A and B are shown apart, each in its own frame.
Chain A
């Protein structure tokens, strides 16, 4: 129970007269005069401050920046006062505020625990884990290895700064090793007099990184599923990938270009899984490489042919997966300056308006739009629902068309039936009946 008086301005951190009275009431001393409680309040403030100052020392020696309840207990013990037992919240104490009857109160909410419930509970709470010792290399010969135990060599913010101003990297290097830098500069000076060297950040990979790149790319597109999942795991959690990122993105985009032409569905799926892994890695600053990633992902969504036998092979899953990636990209990287989402939606919706668009691409565009959320679905799909309906109706009614296109139409129908009802639930203003008839008529 703690009470503070905020009525007098400037009295922050002081006990108020009211608080003393409240505390007095609790102790069944109701007739404290104003003068007495003022004196008491001042004295209590003084003493509490002294104790807090002492408890700070205990926090400092516990290598903590915040004072917690045990520190106050020790400070009290130091002053030969009985510690306040029972307050052992190691995190901050959530004081709740309540007001009423012109009084403002802060109190610590205490939940009542039913002991019988605890005793009869079928699952006993987990035992706290024992202290354990874990070893890793923080640095090897002065260089910090990029392993998950170490912080990423370059945080996302730093990567962003670097992408904005490549000269940053040079500056940083000079800050880190001033000694060597000075020597280098002295050597360079003679050459510098004549030629004005343009600053550029190097992107050389160390031998280990080159090996890693080779291993990763081979594993990702290889045939061994176990190695692939390991490689993807590494791409998802490794903190030190930023130097390899340009290479990896190029690998992915080139791979997609080649494999779309060759209709190699499996490889395209593997490449998309790499994209997924990179998107999930929180240590990377991907903004710089979106111009490579978005076209590759879009290709996998709307390409007219992704496999050798479009009537049999399940290229729909790839399109769906790529659509989800696209929506993830839009969600993560959309800003007012790059307008990723707007541009992507525009592209997809415009392609829907083309008459000669192959049915497979048509499916891709619809699925891409479906993944982008109800707002997009409502504005871009519902508006075109009639057109879409007419377009696919043809394939159900005429029999001499290719089976591939027919299955595409079937897939579009299934997709719309799955997605649109939810969209309609959110926006009841639309003519539900109308839409449903269109859908059902197919």
Chain B
């Protein structure tokens, strides 16, 4: 069976970017049902797991899919499965084959068809010598245009350049293409440098069929590259294009007409700063109507806790664990007060989604207790501000340097800051306890049976007190672990790895309880939903996926990024997922229907870190371009840009409390930087925002920088605010 899976994988590889996304995203997530409806296999792995209970319909659907995609090897392999032979009657098989022959002619190998597409669209008999002159004409025109139009029109140069280059390559003018690249490649904006380099590798027609994300994104039948122009600049450009008499214009005229989407908006032409702030995406900017859908960015009211607060305090003093027992009387009152104010605020939030918009798991008793504890803690939290800076406690992982065999690659701290997990390049995951409580294992079954299940501290009694550990090693992956994430209830841990699997670990038994196979390439990031149960993953296969812990198959498949999806983050209300990608864009996806609801460009490099502001309205992202960008999710605008790092940013986190007042960022420049979010947001909200006019981007970073703390040559893997607003940093010495 396993070789079947591999077969499918190898068959699928060339077509990977065009996986059908509709099949999976149509199935509604249903936490109650564990059997899972007929989610069509997007890759072979799902078959493997459901082999126990094949039903006829599924098998037929799979066969149909395979034949439609011309995966003959897999079909024959599948047929040989003994269980299938008994399932399918000869007649059905014959019918299937007949069907496939009808449609078979159309797609003779996705690979070839892809190449043909590219070839077809680019075929032209133009004289290869005029391309350079053409490009020069366009450049001169743009550079001589009025200041007000110039900056918007300058964005034309890059896509025109790429299309010209590809056209030359397709038509076999290798030398000319190289000349064009040598002459104009270095002139492109710095953030296209990587793309240009990738492109310059391609010099022959045969290279075009390879899996190159730049070429994929410029595949012209899709007409993807978008430019936004004001009415005025558009007219100006149009006049220029209509002057037919001019020499050396036909090539780019053609390109602009055929391949580019010119999205014209009414109103003032944007300034240089505005244009440059949102430039950088691999596919240009977002279309005006791409961000029109309403996003419920508010926070809904959490259901009332059914548990009595006094119970927990009794518990705490009895069990003597979790927080300090000294806070007995005072915080109780406070927390109740806060409770009511919170409730009011939530009720009046018009932007919150209905609580039942997506099914969320009910809180268990233990989790409810934890919520109360969290509330107690938050009432005691330090109120941060420019005058009150947090203390930073730094955890350094020693003997885990980068050139070491076991280099730490990622780290995560549980919500209550008691556990620390780190993923290593030798495919291990290690968990440490950060509190005084050492790690415990669950008792063996024979002893568990003896425990009275009605006792209040049953959870405590389940654990074995005799054997405790400072740290635990979890081994099962077969490649570097790129991300780890604790569940909010902190009894589960997720890890994702180069081996393209995601694994779920129980932190009670310290074993691997589930392995989610679905991605067919390395998984870069995985995150638990703040409500538990759901989790999201991001992969090199250009998709992000939504999963539920109790189902093998992904519930949603978010396809749209044209390069690796590098990071993923849940919205605090669990209804949305944000993803950042190597295509230098940030997208927001609706969990309910799998749609992309926001498409935001402005990063000039890969996005490595995302964080939602606590109110849910703002999203921040950071990455290889060393900048932190603030996005307003209401309209998908870039509202602020913070510079202060000298190397890629890998970690972003907001301080606790309803008004997240501080942002901590860290990266490989050995620095934790604190930003004053409160004054930034005040300034942002002072401006009135409308759907038509994008706001000016705040970039006076100095004003919002509260402090920059250097470590002694230690990369920062992760930052985390505890419930009482102590900042934890985790890093590796190098």
Please tell me if the beta carbons of A133 and B420 are within 8 angstroms of each other in the complex: yes
Which B508-540 residues have C-beta < 8 A from chain A?
A: 521-522, 524, 540
Please tell me if the beta carbons of B705 and A131 are within 8 angstroms of each other in the complex: no
Contact with B along A130-158 (1 / 0, CB 8 A): 11111111111110100001110000000
Cβ contacts under 8 Å, A129 to chain B: 398-399
Cβ contacts under 8 Å, B207 to chain A: 46
Please tell me if the beta carbons of A74 and B498 are within 8 angstroms of each other in the complex: yes
Any A CB within 8 A of the CB of B702: yes
Please tell me if the beta carbons of A131 and B424 are within 8 angstroms of each other in the complex: yes
Please tell me if the beta carbons of B10 and A78 are within 8 angstroms of each other in the complex: no
Question: A68: nearest residue on chain B (CB-CB)?
Answer: B403
Which A48-100 residues have C-beta < 8 A from chain B?
A: 49-50, 53, 57-58, 60-65, 68, 70, 74, 78, 80, 90-91
Any B CB within 8 A of the CB of A179: yes
Question: A139: nearest residue on chain B (CB-CB)?
Answer: B392
Selected contact of B397 from candidates A60, A64, A133, A144, CB within 8 Å: A133
Any B CB within 8 A of the CB of A2: no
Please tell me if the beta carbons of B471 and A138 are within 8 angstroms of each other in the complex: no
Cβ contacts under 8 Å, B218 to chain A: none
Please tell me if the beta carbons of A151 and B566 are within 8 angstroms of each other in the complex: no
Given A90-B403, A131-B430, A142-B707: A178 touches B396 (CB 8 Å cut-off): no
Cβ contacts under 8 Å, A78 to chain B: 521-522, 540
Shortest B338–chain A CB gap in Å is 25
Please tell me if the beta carbons of B393 and A90 are within 8 angstroms of each other in the complex: no
Cβ contacts under 8 Å, A128 to chain B: 399, 404-405
Segment at the A interface, from B37-45, B58-66, B626-634, B709-717: B709-717
Q: How far is the CA of A65 from the CA of B262 in the complex (A)?
A: 38
Please tell me if the beta carbons of B711 and A151 are within 8 angstroms of each other in the complex: yes
Any A CB within 8 A of the CB of B196: no
Given A46-B207, A78-B540: A142 touches B389 (CB 8 Å cut-off): yes
Cβ contacts under 8 Å, A180 to chain B: 386
Cβ contacts under 8 Å, B185 to chain A: none
Please tell me if the beta carbons of A63 and B715 are within 8 angstroms of each other in the complex: yes
Which B413-466 residues have C-beta < 8 A from chain A?
A: 420, 422, 424-425, 430, 432
Cβ contacts under 8 Å, A80 to chain B: 10, 13
Cβ contacts under 8 Å, B706 to chain A: 142, 179
Any A CB within 8 A of the CB of B201: yes
Please tell me if the beta carbons of A131 and B498 are within 8 angstroms of each other in the complex: no
Please tell me if the beta carbons of A70 and B198 are within 8 angstroms of each other in the complex: no
Shortest A295–chain B CB gap in Å is 35
Q: How far is the CA of A140 from the CA of B403 in the complex (A)?
A: 32
Please tell me if the beta carbons of A90 and B399 are within 8 angstroms of each other in the complex: no
Any B CB within 8 A of the CB of A119: no
Q: How far is the CA of A68 from the CA of B480 in the complex (A)?
A: 14
Any B CB within 8 A of the CB of A197: no
Please tell me if the beta carbons of B676 and A179 are within 8 angstroms of each other in the complex: yes
Cβ contacts under 8 Å, A164 to chain B: none
Any A CB within 8 A of the CB of B395: yes
Please tell me if the beta carbons of B407 and A62 are within 8 angstroms of each other in the complex: yes
Selected contact of A70 from candidates B204, B210, B425, CB within 8 Å: B425
Question: B391: nearest residue on chain A (CB-CB)?
Answer: A140
Please tell me if the beta carbons of B676 and A137 are within 8 angstroms of each other in the complex: no
Which B683-710 residues have C-beta < 8 A from chain A?
A: 702-703, 705-710
Cβ contacts under 8 Å, A50 to chain B: 201, 210, 212
Given A53-B201, A70-B425: A137 touches B393 (CB 8 Å cut-off): yes
Selected contact of B391 from candidates A134, A139, A149, CB within 8 Å: A139
Please tell me if the beta carbons of A61 and B566 are within 8 angstroms of each other in the complex: yes
Question: B705: nearest residue on chain A (CB-CB)?
Answer: A178
Please tell me if the beta carbons of B712 and A150 are within 8 angstroms of each other in the complex: yes
Cβ contacts under 8 Å, A64 to chain B: 402
Please tell me if the beta carbons of B390 and A142 are within 8 angstroms of each other in the complex: yes
Given A74-B498, A141-B389, A151-B712: A61 touches B707 (CB 8 Å cut-off): no
Any A CB within 8 A of the CB of B624: yes
Number of A positions contacting B (CB below 8 A)? 44
Cβ contacts under 8 Å, A179 to chain B: 386, 676, 703, 706
Shortest A374–chain B CB gap in Å is 38
Please tell me if the beta carbons of A62 and B386 are within 8 angstroms of each other in the complex: no
Q: How far is the CA of A34 from the CA of B18 in the complex (A)?
A: 40
Given A62-B480, A90-B403, A90-B405: A57 touches B396 (CB 8 Å cut-off): no
Question: B525: nearest residue on chain A (CB-CB)?
Answer: A61
Cβ contacts under 8 Å, A138 to chain B: 392-394, 672, 709, 711, 729
Any A CB within 8 A of the CB of B657: no
Given A46-B203, A132-B398, A136-B394: A53 touches B432 (CB 8 Å cut-off): no
Please tell me if the beta carbons of B717 and A63 are within 8 angstroms of each other in the complex: yes
Q: How far is the CA of A62 from the CA of B424 in the complex (A)?
A: 9
Cβ contacts under 8 Å, A135 to chain B: 393-396
Selected contact of B710 from candidates A133, A141, A151, CB within 8 Å: A151
Any A CB within 8 A of the CB of B400: yes
Q: How far is the CA of A130 from the CA of B473 in the complex (A)?
A: 11
Any B CB within 8 A of the CB of A176: yes
Cβ contacts under 8 Å, B212 to chain A: 50
Contact with B along A289-322 (1 / 0, CB 8 A): 0000000000000000000000000000000000
Please tell me if the beta carbons of A65 and B668 are within 8 angstroms of each other in the complex: yes
Any A CB within 8 A of the CB of B128: no
Given A57-B564, A62-B480, A178-B705: A131 touches B397 (CB 8 Å cut-off): yes
Cβ contacts under 8 Å, A62 to chain B: 402, 407, 409, 425, 480, 482
Question: A45: nearest residue on chain B (CB-CB)?
Answer: B201
Cβ contacts under 8 Å, B715 to chain A: 63
Please tell me if the beta carbons of A49 and B201 are within 8 angstroms of each other in the complex: yes
Cβ contacts under 8 Å, B702 to chain A: 175, 178
Any A CB within 8 A of the CB of B166: no
Q: How far is the CA of A90 from the CA of B705 in the complex (A)?
A: 37
Any A CB within 8 A of the CB of B479: yes
Any A CB within 8 A of the CB of B606: yes
Any A CB within 8 A of the CB of B580: no
Please tell me if the beta carbons of B395 and A130 are within 8 angstroms of each other in the complex: no
Question: A56: nearest residue on chain B (CB-CB)?
Answer: B194
Q: How far is the CA of A46 from the CA of B178 in the complex (A)?
A: 14
Cβ contacts under 8 Å, B390 to chain A: 139, 141-142
Top 6 A-B pairs ranked by shortest CB distance?
A: A142-B389, A138-B392, A138-B394, A90-B403, A139-B392, A132-B398
Residues of B within 8 A of A (CB): 10, 13, 197-198, 201-204, 207, 210, 212, 386, 388-400, 402-409, 420, 422, 424-425, 430, 432, 471, 479-480, 482, 498, 521-522, 524, 540, 564, 566, 582, 606, 608, 624, 647-648, 650, 668, 672, 676, 702-703, 705-713, 715, 717, 727, 729
Cβ contacts A to B, 30 pairs, < 8 Å: A46-B204, A46-B207, A49-B201, A57-B564, A60-B624, A62-B402, A62-B480, A63-B409, A63-B650, A63-B715, A74-B522, A78-B540, A130-B399, A131-B397, A131-B406, A132-B397, A133-B471, A136-B396, A138-B709, A138-B711, A138-B729, A139-B390, A139-B391, A140-B391, A141-B389, A144-B709, A144-B710, A149-B712, A151-B712, A179-B703
Residues of A within 8 A of B (CB): 42, 46, 49-50, 53, 57-58, 60-65, 68, 70, 74, 78, 80, 90-91, 128-142, 144, 149-151, 175-176, 178-180
Known: A64-B402, A138-B709. 11 other contacts (CB 8 A): A42-B203, A58-B522, A62-B482, A63-B668, A74-B522, A90-B405, A131-B399, A133-B396, A133-B398, A134-B395, A141-B389
